[in-house]
Amino acid sequence: MTLNRRNLLRWTGVLAPLAGGIEQLEAAERRKDQPRNIIWMVTDGMSPGVLPLTEQFSRIARGKGSVWYALGQRPETRHALMDMSSLESMVTDSSSASSSWGSGSRILNGWVNMLPDGTALTPIGVLARDTKKRVGLVTTTTVSHATPAGFAAVSKRRDDEAGIAAQYLNVCDVVLGGGTPFFDPGVRADHRDLLADYRKAGFQVALSRDELLAARDGRLLGLFSKSHLPYTIDVRNDKALTAAIPALAEMTQAALDRLASSPQGFLLQIEGGRVDHAAHNNDAAALLWEMLAFDDALAAVLRFCEKHPDTLLVITTDHGNANPGLNGTGTEYGDSNPSFQRLLQARCSYTALTPMLGSRAEYSMSGAGGEDTHSQVAANRIREAVRTAFSLDLSAAEIDAMRKIAAQGHGVSLSRQLDKIVGILGQAVGNHTGIGWTGTSHTSDFTMLLALGPGSGRFHGFMKNTDAFPILCELMDIRHRNPSMSPERLKDFPKAAAANRPQIHWA
């Protein structure tokens, strides 16, 4: 309001002689608005319908609502919706999405902070480091995966995780997640001992949950899995995994403990990366347990923000995925609540269930009619696997659809997206839980964004993904702006757009 009035007076010329004073006033206001620390939290692949499901799931699984929902109710919390389109598509992948925040430019899906003509963009993590802020990346995926990479790396291929892992060495102070092979001289194509290089650069290296919890102050690299960290639902139902794998909240706390002492503050990205993977798999229970793990991490961050009010917190997602929702079922929709409750019965992810189903070869001998012995054996196997995993009794029709998709690999669902094992399993289980899905891939939905703390007022209403970068730069006193490319200009680089085409899916 004050600014508006001041602008109005400037237009009328009344305050023209005082213009210098006004600029000083504005500069002072800007400084007051400048956070010392910035925490950017991402649930990867969270469709708009997931947040209400998480709130309801939190109430039945934990007996209390979610931290996210409570935060959204606070009057000082800012809300925005973001258009996350990439340079080439209304539907983005995670590397293009994170790069759009990290560089301010829309790029091709599958690339990291690089324009189609090969122009390297400077990511926000590098710029933050140059202002003496410490930089942290925490994720439940491999540390070199698309979303963390978008803040701290540059690459023509997001799949070059070995190259991306090496780039963090000169940018980050805290790196926590999965992906040990990308640091291993025995696996890396260049045979570089990246772990040794991180140690030489002053990083402590933690390779288990115990080592993470015992780590001293200072730079920290934590790798807790060869690939992504296992799903929370699989960790919580396995004592060995519970002991070995840190929760996202524990990694978050470890990162905050180290970064808090940074003299010039820090930039920290925290990703709940497996929300996306569960959505690709149409696996509602795995997805909601990942959301609760993210919510626990959010609670840890909010405790930090209370002690350090000079911290800007942004919570968002990079794109929708498969758009799950609870369908109304039964008379007056009276079956919806008990159906949703059945998600609590799940004891493992679809990923953990799949080996219980056996290989396609084991199904290939079953006949089309389902009456022969091979078909009966296959049907029993499916029935028992789903009963063990989810305490659900599939109907004969659901088991038959599963048997056919297991044998054929396709040709069971009219939806091309859902015509695969996880799509059919998602529909079969969805008949009992009420959860339906639109597909198995990313979607073009606007994403939700919440912001809290100094600078949060810059995030409001409808925004473009590229709006975030200049805001973050201003809040950190960074003048650098990256070049961008228009979609029209992209036509001049057909080879670049086609380079990653053979790989159909990026998570």
Residues that bind Zn ion (CB under 5 A): 45, 276, 507
Q: How far is the CB of 411 from Zn ion (least distance, A)?
A: 25
| Cβ distance to Zn ion smaller for residue 234 or 276 | 276
CA-CA-CA-CA torsion sign (238, 244, 245, 247) = positive
Q: How far is the CB of 476 from Zn ion (least distance, A)?
A: 29
Rounded to an integer, what distance in angstroms lies between the CA atom of residue 137 and that of residue 142?
A: 11
The CA distances from residue 44 to 24, 85, 202, 256, 427, in Å, are 41, 15, 30, 21, 23
SS3 134: strand
| Cβ distance to Zn ion smaller for residue 92 or 466 | 92
Q: How far is the CB of 266 from Zn ion (least distance, A)?
A: 27
| Cβ distance to Zn ion smaller for residue 94 or 366 | 94
Query: Would you say 97 and 465 are in contact if contact means Cβ atoms under 8 Å apart?
Result: yes
| Cβ distance to Zn ion smaller for residue 45 or 230 | 45
| Cβ distance to Zn ion smaller for residue 276 or 400 | 276
Q: How far is the CB of 110 from Zn ion (least distance, A)?
A: 12
Q: How far is the CB of 34 from Zn ion (least distance, A)?
A: 34
Which residue's CB atom is positioned nearest to Zn ion? 507
Q: What is the CA radius of gyration of the chain?
A: 24
Q: Which of 179, 218, 226, 212 is nearest to 199 (CA)?
A: 218
| Cβ distance to Zn ion smaller for residue 166 or 279 | 279
Q: How far is the CB of 294 from Zn ion (least distance, A)?
A: 15
Q: What is the amino acid identity at position 278?
A: A
Q: How far is the CB of 276 from Zn ion (least distance, A)?
A: 4
| Cβ distance to Zn ion smaller for residue 212 or 448 | 448
Rounded to an integer, what distance in angstroms lies between the CA atom of residue 300 and that of residue 250?
A: 9
Q: How far is the CB of 275 from Zn ion (least distance, A)?
A: 9
| Cβ distance to Zn ion smaller for residue 45 or 430 | 45
Residue 311's contacts (CB-CB under 8 Å, 6 or more residues apart) are 35, 36, 37, 38, 39, 304, 305, 453, 454
Other beta carbons within 10 Å of 333: 13
Q: How far is the CB of 385 from Zn ion (least distance, A)?
A: 25
SS3 content of the chain, % helix, strand, coil (to 5): 50, 15, 40
Total length of the chain? 507
CA-CA-CA-CA torsion sign (453, 457, 463, 468) = negative
CA atoms within 13 Å, Cβ hemisphere of 335: 12
Other beta carbons within 10 Å of 478: 18
| Cβ distance to Zn ion smaller for residue 501 or 505 | 505
